[in-house]
């Protein structure tokens, strides 16, 4: 998977100046399965916030889960409220709210070609060491996979994730796999059936209009044949040890203080080691793409010969 390194100043200047040509090139690289890598994050975290985030592990040893921030409800989950004083929870909430907002502000300009045709999804703080985590197969993040949300179908909207390694000294170590069409070809039609349209599609179509009009509210979407397939593909990749062994792998170490972004529903990825990362997810309208035909929903529809979402 190509990694495109972008200097922080170049990113910020192009975003501020609205350099349409440069911004379209970067968006196209992203859509084609590239990782946009900022060796120095263009979305710096205030020093005081960093101190609080890095102190989480020591202060709350009962912390086992990622901390999630839901911008649409301004809600923080995953913090052990019993062992954390109310002020500490409120402080963390404010930090995550700031982080989410600042990533949205940056990408609003950096991804100007999309004109914010997205739903701002959850942000997360990942304070747990990734190496050697004891998780069930489907929850493991150290096995190559493409992302799909079991309870939040995207109905063809793309999953874009912006990360920040806030560990002061250690890299976050990733591996990425083959391009999406090749992965799909590996699993279909032998191991997985291609998605097929069903009668529920017509009804599911109604969610879209409200999604774009409600300024970040995530509507209750039905799972479409597209979502069904993407969920099956996620599971099939993680559960197939032969695939895990033979597929192409590229290793990458994201430096302390760096950021990167990637369409994780199409780029097979896994995290092997690292601790303390921030992440913000966007669900992006496939029709807003610079290269709409590369959106996975379009790729699958071409293979299936039918509308899937």
Which stretches of the chain bind ligand SIN, using CB under 6 A? 126, 141, 147, 172, 264, 269, 271, 277
Residue of minimal Cβ distance to ligand SIN: 271
Instruction: Mark the segment that binds Fe ion (CB under 5 A) among 63-71, 107-115, 140-148, 163-171.
Output: 140-148
- Output the smallest distance, CB 40 to Fe ion, in A: 24
Helix ranges, the chain (H)? 8-17, 20-31, 47-59, 86-110, 180-187, 201-204, 207-213, 225-239, 241-246, 296-304
d(CA 291, CA 302): 15
CB 50 within 8 Å of CB 124 = no
- Give 126 or 158: the residue with its C-beta nearer to ligand SIN: 126
Between 265 and 285, whose beta carbon lies closer to ligand SIN?
Answer: 265
Q: Does 147 engage in binding with Fe ion (CB under 5 A)? A: yes
From the CB of 109, what's the least distance to ligand SIN, in Å? Answer: 24
CB atoms within 10 A of CB 74: 11
**Segment contacting Fe ion (CB under 5 A): 89-97, 139-147, 184-192, 200-208?**
139-147
Q: For the stretch 191-229, what's the b/e string if a residue is b when 16 or more beta carbons lie within 10 angstroms of its beta carbon?
A: ebebbebeeebeebeebbeebeeeeeebbebbbbbbbbb
Residues 6 or more apart whose Cβ sits within 8 Å of residue 198: 225
Q: How far is the CB of 35 from ligand SIN (least distance, A)?
A: 12
CB of 270 to ligand SIN, least distance (A): 6
Least separation in angstroms between residue 265's CB and ligand SIN is 10
- Kindly list the residues in this chain that would bind Fe ion in the complex (CB under 5 A): 147
């Amino acid at each position: 998977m190509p990694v495109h390194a972008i200097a922080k100043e170049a990113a910020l200047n192009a975003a501020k100046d609205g350099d349409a040509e440069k911004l379209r090139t970067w968006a196209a690289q992203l859509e084609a399965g590239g990782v946009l890598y900022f060796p120095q994050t263009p979305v710096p975290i205030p020093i005081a916030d960093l101190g609080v985030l890095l102190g989480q592990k020591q202060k709350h040893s009962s912390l086992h889960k990622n901390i999630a921030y839901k911008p649409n409800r301004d809600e923080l989950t995953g913090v052990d409220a019993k062992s954390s004083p109310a002020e500490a929870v409120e402080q963390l909430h404010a930090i995550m709210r700031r982080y989410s907002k600042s990533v949205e502000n940056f990408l609003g300009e950096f991804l100007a070609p999309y004109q914010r045709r997205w739903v701002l999804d959850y942000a997360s703080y990942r304070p747990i060491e990734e190496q050697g985590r004891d998780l069930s197969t489907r929850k493991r993040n150290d096995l190559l996979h493409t992302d799909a949300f079991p309870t939040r179908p995207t109905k063809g909207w793309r999953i874009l994730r912006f990360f920040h390694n806030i560990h002061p000294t250690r890299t976050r170590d990733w591996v990425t796999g083959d391009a999406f069409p090749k992965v799909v070809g590996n699993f279909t039609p032998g191991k997985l059936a291609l998605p097929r349209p069903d009668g529920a599609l017509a009804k599911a179509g109604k969610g879209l209009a409200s999604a774009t009009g409600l300024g970040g509210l995530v509507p209750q979407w039905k799972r479409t044949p597209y979502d069904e397939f993407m969920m099956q593909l996620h599971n099939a990749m993680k559960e197939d040890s032969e695939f895990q062994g033979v597929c192409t792998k590229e290793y990458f170490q994201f430096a302390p203080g760096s950021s990167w972004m990637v369409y994780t529903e199409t780029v097979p990825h896994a995290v092997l080691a690292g601790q303390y990362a921030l992440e913000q997810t966007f669900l992006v309208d496939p029709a807003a793409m610079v290269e709409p035909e590369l959106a996975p929903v379009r790729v699958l529809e071409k293979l299936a010969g039918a509308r899937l979402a």
